[in-house]
C-alpha cells in the first residue's frame, strides 16, 4: 500500500517539486544578478555554498564578509531553496526595518519559515491587531507583574527541585527550564489557576514543538500538496481544540470582569486579548489562536536565552560571587520587585553579553518583498527575502571593539560609564538584534528581560549549581540550519545554599 503511494504520489510529487525549486532558483538568481553573492553565484553551484552555510554558519559568514569588495551595500547569501539578501553593514538594516509592511512583509517571511498559514493560522490572526494592546498593557504593568513572577518562581522551584538542607539533584537543563518558563510565563499569559495546570503547560510546549515539526514536514511537500498533507498529518487543529477547552471558561470570566470594569483584574495577556476581541468584534476562537501564537513566540525564545545564560554563568564561576553580592544587596534594598531587578546592573550586563555572544541564529528580522522595491538604492525584486546578518552585527569590531569575539560580562557597564551608551537587556539596536529591531521588535522583551533577570537572580541567590561532566566547560551550542541552540542534553547539579536557607 505504502509502496504504491510512494511510487504514484510521493516520488513524482518530489521530482516535480525539485524541478520547480530549481527553475525558480534559476529565475531568482537571474533577477538578483546585480547583487554580489557570498559563495558561488551559479544556481547549481550555489547549493555547495548553501551546504557550507548550513555546516558552519559563523565561519561561512565571516569568511564571506571578508571578501566583499568596498562600496557594496547588499549581498545575497544562498539558502537551499532561495537567496536571502543582507546588508553588508549592520546599519543597512535600518532601511529594511523602516520599510512599510505592504512592501516588506514580516508575515510573509513567517509564512516561508514556519508555513504559518497552516501552523499558526495567520490567515485568521496575521493582522496582529492584538499587538498594540499587548505592548501597552504588558509594559505598563511590569511593576505589578514582577512580584507575580516571583510568587510563581517560589512554587515552580519547590516543584522542580524539592530539596532538603543536604539534598542535591541533577537536572537536564533545557527541558527543565522550558517547563519552568512555560509555567512562570503562563502566570502572566493566562494567570492563576490555569498557569499551574501541568496539562495546560505541557500542551503549550507540545504545540510549539508541533509547529516546528509540521513546518519542516510541510515544506517537504510541493505547495499544491500542502493543504492535503496538512489535513492528513497535522496534530495542530487538535491542539487548538484542547486549548479552547482550557481557555473558554476563562474568556467568559474575563469578559464579565471587563464589562464590570473590575479594578482587581490582574493584567494577563488573555485579558488583553479579550479586550482586543471586543474592540475588533472577534470570536473566542480568535482569542485562542492569538494566545497560542504568543505562547509560541514567548516560551522557547525565553528558555533558549535563559539556558545560554545559565551555561555562561556556570562555566565562568569567577563571576558568581560578584553577581551574588549584587543580587543580595538589591533584594535587601528593594525586595523581589521591578525596582530590585532594575538595580542589578552587573547581572543585566552579564545577561546582555550572553545574548550578544550566544546568538540565536545567523540571520534575523526576515522580510519578503511584496512588490518590486528599492532599498538604499538597490533594486529588490518582488518575492525576495531580506534580513539582517546577526553574526556581523553582534561581533562587529567598530561597535564592540577589538575584544568583540571575547565574552566580557562588564562590557555593557563600561559602555555606559566610558561612552555614555546605555544598552540594557531589552534594548534593541542595529548591533544588538536578539529581539529584532524597529517597528516589529519584540513587544514582549521588557517582560522577558524582567523574567530572565528574576529567574537568574533566584537560581544564584538560593542555590549552588554546577555543570555536570564537562570539567566546568560550557556545553557546546549546535547549529540547526540557521538557528543556534544550546546543548539540549547538558545536565546541571543543584543544591540549596546553606546561608540563604529560609
Ligand atoms: C528572550 C525572549 C524573547 C526573544 C529572544 C524574542 C525575540 C523576538 C524576535 C526576534 C522577534 C521578531 C522581530 C522581527 O521580526 O523583527 C519577536 C517578535 C515578537 N515577540 Fe518576542 N521574543 C522573546 C520573548 C517574547 C515574549 C515573552 C513575548 C510575549 C509576552 C513575545 C512576543 C512577541 C510578539 C507578539 C512578536 C511579534 C511582533 C511584531 O510582529 O510586531 N516575545 N520576538
**pLDDT by 10s per residue, the chain, length 502:** 445 555 565 566 566 666 666 666 666 777 899 999 999 888 788 888 888 998 999 999 999 999 999 999 999 999 878 899 999 999 999 999 999 999 999 999 999 999 999 999 999 999 999 999 999 999 999 999 999 999 999 999 999 999 988 899 999 999 999 999 999 999 999 999 999 999 999 999 999 999 999 998 998 888 999 999 999 999 999 999 999 999 999 999 888 888 777 766 778 999 999 999 999 999 999 999 999 999 999 999 999 999 999 999 999 999 999 999 999 999 999 999 999 999 999 999 999 999 999 999 999 999 999 999 999 999 999 999 999 999 999 999 999 999 999 999 999 999 999 999 999 999 999 999 999 999 999 999 999 999 999 999 999 999 999 999 878 899 999 998 889 999 999 999 999 997 776 5
* Whole-angstrom distance, CA of residue 409 vs CA of residue 348: 9
pLDDT score recorded for residue 177: 98
**CA 296 to ligand 1 center in whole angstroms:** 10
Residue ranges and CATH numbers for the domains of the chain are: 82-500 (1.10.630.10)
For the CA of 189, the closest atom of ligand 1 is 30
Contact 438, 432 (CB under 8 A): no
Q: Which residues have C-beta within 8 Å of that of residue 57, sequence separation ≥ 6?
A: 362, 391, 479, 482, 484
On the CB side of 203, how many CA atoms lie within 13 Å of its CA? Answer: 23
What pLDDT is stored for residue 2 in this prediction? Answer: 47
Return the pLDDT at 323: 98
Report pLDDT for 501: 61
Nearest CA to ligand 1 atom 41: 440
Tell me the CA distances in angstroms from 229 to 191, 233, 289, one per residue in order. 36, 6, 21
How far separated are the first and last CA of the chain, in Å rounded?
65
Is the beta carbon of 447 within 6 A of some atom in ligand 1?
yes
Q: For residue 467, how many other CB atoms are within 10 A of its CB?
A: 22
For 386-441, the pLDDT digits (tens) are 999 999 999 999 999 999 999 999 999 999 999 999 999 999 999 999 999 999 99
Atom of ligand 1 nearest to the CA of 448: 27
d(C-alpha 267, C-alpha 286), whole Å:
19
Q: Which atom of ligand 1 is nearest to the CA of 360?
A: 5
Task: In whole angstroms, give the CA distance from residue 87 to residue 74.
Answer: 4
Ligand 1 center to residue 104 CA distance, Å? 18
CA contacts within 13 A on the Cβ side of 171: 21
What pLDDT shows up at residue 24?
64
Question: Which residues, 6 or more positions from 58, have their beta carbon under 8 angstroms from its beta carbon?
Answer: 362, 391
Residues of the binding site: 442
Q: Is any atom of ligand 1 closer than 6 Å to the C-beta of 181? A: no
CA–centroid distance, 355 to ligand 1, in Å, is: 14
Say yes or no: CB of residue 294 within 6 Å of ligand 1: yes
Q: For ligand 1, is residue 291 a contact (CB within 6 Å)?
A: no
How many distinct helices (H) and strands (E) make up the chain?
23, 12
Burial label for 8, CB within 10 Å (0-12, 13-18, 19+), is exposed
Test site for ligand 1: of 107, 116, 435, most ligand atoms within 8 A of the Cβ? 435
Query: Does 145 sit in the ligand 1 pocket, CB within 6 Å?
Result: no
| 493 CB within 6 A, ligand 1 | no
Amino acid at each position: 500500500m505504502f509502496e504504491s503511494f510512494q511510487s504514484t504520489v510521493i516520488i513524482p510529487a518530489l521530482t516535480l517539486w525539485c524541478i520547480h525549486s530549481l527553475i525558480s532558483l534559476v529565475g531568482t538568481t537571474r533577477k538578483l544578478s546585480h547583487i554580489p553573492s557570498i559563495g558561488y553565484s551559479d544556481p547549481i553551484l550555489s547549493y555547495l555554498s548553501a551546504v557550507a552555510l548550513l555546516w558552519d554558519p559563523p565561519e561561512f559568514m565571516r569568511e564571506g564578509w571578508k571578501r566583499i569588495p568596498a562600496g557594496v551595500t547588499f549581498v545575497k547569501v544562498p539558502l537551499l531553496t532561495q537567496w536571502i539578501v543582507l546588508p553588508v553593514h549592520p546599519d543597512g538594516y535600518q532601511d529594511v526595518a523602516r520599510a512599510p509592511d505592504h512592501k516588506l512583509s514580516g508575515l510573509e517571511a513567517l509564512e516561508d519559515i514556519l508555513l504559518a498559514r497552516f501552523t499558526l493560522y495567520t490567515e485568521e490572526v496575521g493582522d496582529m491587531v492584538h499587538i498594540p494592546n499587548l505592548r501597552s498593557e504588558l509594559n505598563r504593568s511590569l511593576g505589578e507583574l514582577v512580584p507575580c513572577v516571583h510568587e510563581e518562581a517560589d512554587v515552580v522551584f519547590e516543584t522542580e527541585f524539592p530539596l532538603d538542607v543536604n539534598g542535591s539533584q541533577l537536572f537536564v537543563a533545557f527541558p527543565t527550564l522550558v517547563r519552568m518558563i512555560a509555567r512562570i510565563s503562563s502566570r502572566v499569559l493566562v494567570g492563576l489557576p490555569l498557569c499551574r495546570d501541568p496539562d495546560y503547560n505541557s500542551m503549550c510546549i507540545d504545540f510549539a514543538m508541533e509547529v516546528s515539526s509540521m513546518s519542516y514536514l510541510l515544506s517537504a511537500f510541493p505547495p499544491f500538496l500542502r493543504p492535503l498533507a496538512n489535513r492528513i498529518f497535522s496534530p495542530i487543529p487538535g491542539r487548538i481544540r484542547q486549548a479552547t477547552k482550557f481557555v473558554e471558561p476563562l474568556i467568559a470570566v474575563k469578559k464579565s470582569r471587563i464589562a464590570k470594569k473590575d479594578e482587581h483584574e490582574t493584567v494577563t495577556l488573555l485579558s488583553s486579548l479579550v479586550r482586543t476581541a471586543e474592540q475588533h468584534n472577534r470570536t473566542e476562537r480568535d482569542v485562542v489562536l492569538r494566545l497560542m501564537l504568543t505562547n509560541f513566540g514567548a516560551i522557547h525564545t525565553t528558555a533558549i536565552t535563559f539556558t545560554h545564560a545559565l551555561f555562561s554563568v556556570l562555566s565562568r564561576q569567577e563571576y558568581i560571587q560578584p553577581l551574588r553580592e549584587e543580587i543580595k544587596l538589591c533584594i535587601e534594598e528593594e525586595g523581589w520587585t521591578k525596582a530590585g531587578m532594575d538595580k542589578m546592573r552587573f547581572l543585566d550586563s552579564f545577561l546582555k553579553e550572553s545574548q550578544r555572544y550566544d546568538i540565536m541564529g545567523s540571520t534575523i528580522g526576515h522580510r519578503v518583498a511584496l512588490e518590486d522595491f528599492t532599498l538604499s538604492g538597490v533594486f529588490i525584486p518582488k518575492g525576495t527575502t531580506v534580513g539582517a546578518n546577526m553574526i556581523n552585527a553582534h561581533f562587529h569590531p567598530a561597535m564592540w571593539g577589538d575584544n568583540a569575539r571575547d565574552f566580557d560580562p562588564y562590557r555593557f557597564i563600561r559602555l555606559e560609564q566610558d561612552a555614555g551608551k546605555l544598552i540594557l537587556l531589552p534594548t534593541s539596536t542595529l548591533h544588538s538584534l536578539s529581539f529584532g529591531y524597529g517597528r516589529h521588535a519584540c513587544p514582549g522583551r521588557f517582560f522577558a528581560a524582567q523574567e530572565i533577570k528574576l529567574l537568574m537572580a533566584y537560581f544564584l541567590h538560593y542555590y549552588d549549581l554546577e555543570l555536570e561532566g564537562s570539567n566546568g566547560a560550557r556545553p557546546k551550542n549546535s547549529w540547526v540550519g540557521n538557528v543556534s541552540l544550546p546543548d539540549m542534553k547538558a545536565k546541571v547539579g543543584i543544591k540549596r545554599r546553606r546561608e540563604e536557607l529560609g
